[in-house]
Every structure is written in C-alpha cells, then in structure tokens.
Amino acid sequence: MPHKIFFSLISVFIICTSGCTMPIQEKQDDEYLGCEPGEKINDEEESCSINSENNDNEITLFDNKTESEENTDLTNDEQTTNQTQNEEINNIGTYEGMNVPNFESLVHYYNSTEWSEFELYSQFNKSWNSSQDNLSKWTVLIFISTDCSHCWNAGEYIGQLSEVYKNQTQFFILAVNFSSNNNFNATPEEIVAFQEKNDYFGCYSNTKNCNERPGEPHQFPYIDDRNQSIMYDWDVTGTPAQFIIKPNGIMEWNVYQHRTSNGGDGENFEQALNRIFS
C-alpha cells in the first residue's frame, strides 16, 4: 500500500511510514480552495473562477493551422453540428468514462534549457487492458497558476504525491494565466522558476521570489497553457484542478464531479489516488 500524506489547511505535510493511517483533515462542506482573479489574495478563499475573456496577445503555440482555423468557412451552426457529431462518435469529453480531449502545446522538462512540442495522446495506449497490463503509467493533469496563492501553498503537497505515486503515474502541470488579472500573467521564465524553484521574482501574484515556493523542485513536466485554450476545452474554472486518466486515455477521475458543491461524494485528489492505486 502506498505511503500516506497528511496535511492541514495550512499545508503542513508529514510523510508517514508504511502502515501509518489517519483521516485527512480538510474542509468537508466545500473541499475546494482556489484563486479568484480580480480579488485580493486570500489563502482562505473557498471559491474560484476565471474570467472567460481571452486576450489576443497571448502566446501562439504552433504555426500550423488548427482544426478550428480550417473550419472558418463554415457557419456557426455547421461547426457546432460537426463538433457534436465528432464527440458523439468518439465519446470525447472530460467526464469520467469518456475519452479525454487531445491537446498540443509546449512542454518544459525538468532541467531542460528549452521548451519542446507535446501532444497529450502520445501518452496513451488505446489497447491497454487493466487485467493484462499493470505497468503502464496513468496520467495526472493538474491545472495551476504560478500566481495563485493556493497553488503556491500546494507546491509541496503536489510534489509529495508525485513522489509517492511515481511508479504508477506521470504528473503533468498545466500552467495557465488569468486574462482578467494582470497579476496572474506569468512569463515562461516564471513558470520554469516555479517548477524548478529558481531565483525569479514574480510568483504569488508578483509578490514573491519563486525560489521561496514550499516543497522541493518539481521534476515532472510543466505544460504551457497561458493562452487558456486547454483550460477552456477541459471546462476548468479555477486553479488548482486535478484529473486522473487511465493509460488508454479514459478519464478515471474528474475533480469537479466529486465536489460536494456539485453534488459529488466529496472525494479529494489524494483520496482518489489512494483508492485507485492501493
């Protein structure tokens, strides 16, 4: 059974040896703590939302035309119909049991001097069968903002969990910007500094040096979603937000479906990892 990690609301973490058990002490009524752009940073804020506006001056990930650009000659009704038909045929979506949407972006690997191209579907084996293959790694996606106080506080927690489950999972962080708040607009340098705990002032809503982030450097990849394109495709409304995906690309666990505020069972990220891999 994997080691357990226990923490309080103020992000104090203790790694227990095998056999150590203790109930997770989290707020149960509304278990999500996140960042709300446009408001004063408050570590006890319990709601999180992202403005739906998207600035045109954000980064361009690739020079090649996207599918949406190729369909610009279609009417809105035709595009909507095509998208609906494709989703129905392929069962594509972010709900549990569905094939997760693909995306392409730029990724930064730990200690790399450059960003490289990345495609989510390259991680999956569509023929994977759980009864025949228990060695293939599951994919964990976590959306964060390097300026979000709650993502800052969760830096150690995320790192600890990735270490505990490193034999079963591959963690990926998707770093987003909040277009509605100038203090939530990270540069690539800030993202890398948050990831590796480098000397760079600008994290935590431009108030802290990134090397002060709690926890150790994150040795798992960081994906650039500063233009929020992946965030919107995945219906992410705040940070942090976590997803657990089977090796064949099927969504196993979507944080939004388990929040009590959405009528869920209240299972949190750590509890889900414990249940799936214990």
Task: Give domain status of residue 78, yes or no.
Answer: no
> CA angle, corner 206, sides to 203 and 212, nearest 5?
40
Q: What are phi and psi of 252, to 5 degrees?
A: -95, -40
Once rounded to an integer, what is the mean pLDDT over residues 58-72? Answer: 38
The average pLDDT across 256-261 equals 94
User: For residue 84, is it within any domain?
Assistant: no
pLDDT digits (tens, 9 = 90+) for 89-123: 579 999 999 999 999 999 999 999 999 999 999 99
Query: Is the separation of the CB atoms in 76 and 236 below 8 Å?
Result: no
Mean of pLDDT over the chain: 79
Q: Confirm whether 87 is domain-assigned.
A: no
**143, 155, 212: which is closest to 184 by C-alpha?**
143
CB 121 within 8 A of CB 102: yes
* Residues in Cβ contact with 246 at an 8 Å cutoff, skipping those fewer than 6 apart: 128, 130, 138, 252
Residue reference for tokens 């058990």: 21
Average pLDDT over residues 39-65: 37
Nearest-Å Rg of the Cα atoms of the chain is: 19
Strands (E), 135-255: 138-144, 169-176, 201-202, 208-209, 222-225, 241-245, 251-254
Calpha distance 60→146 (Å, rounded): 20
* Lowest model confidence (mean pLDDT) among 30-44, 200-214, 217-231: 30-44
**Residue at 41 is within a domain:** yes
Is 135 a domain residue? yes
Q: What crossing angle do the helices spanning 155-164 and 269-277 adopt, rounded to 10°?
A: 0
The token pair at 102 is 């693909």
User: Does 68 reside within a domain?
Assistant: no
149-207 confidence digits (pLDDT tens): 999 999 999 999 999 999 999 999 999 998 888 889 999 999 999 999 999 999 999 99
Q: Kindly state whether residue 66 falls inside one of the protein's structural domains.
A: no
- For the chain, the domain total comes to 1
Query: pTM value?
Result: 0.74
Reply yes or no on whether the pLDDT at 49 is more than 90: no
Cα distance between residue 3 and residue 89, in whole Å: 40
Count of residues in the chain: 278
Strand partners, 106: 117
Q: What is the CATH number of the domain that holds 46?
A: 3.40.30.10
Residue 33 has pLDDT above 60, yes or no: yes
Q: How far is CA 51 from CA 90, 103, 169, in A?
A: 30, 21, 31
Contacting residues for 178 by C-beta, under 8 A, at least 6 apart? 35, 37, 50, 51, 145, 147, 184, 185
C-beta separation of 138 from 246 below 8 A: yes
The average pLDDT across 214-241 equals 96
Instruction: Give me 238's structure tokens.
Output: 């705040």
**80 in a domain, yes or no?**
no
- Provide the domain limits for residue 14: 5-53+93-277
Is 4 or 103 the better-scoring residue by pLDDT? 103
Element (H, E) at 106: strand 104-108
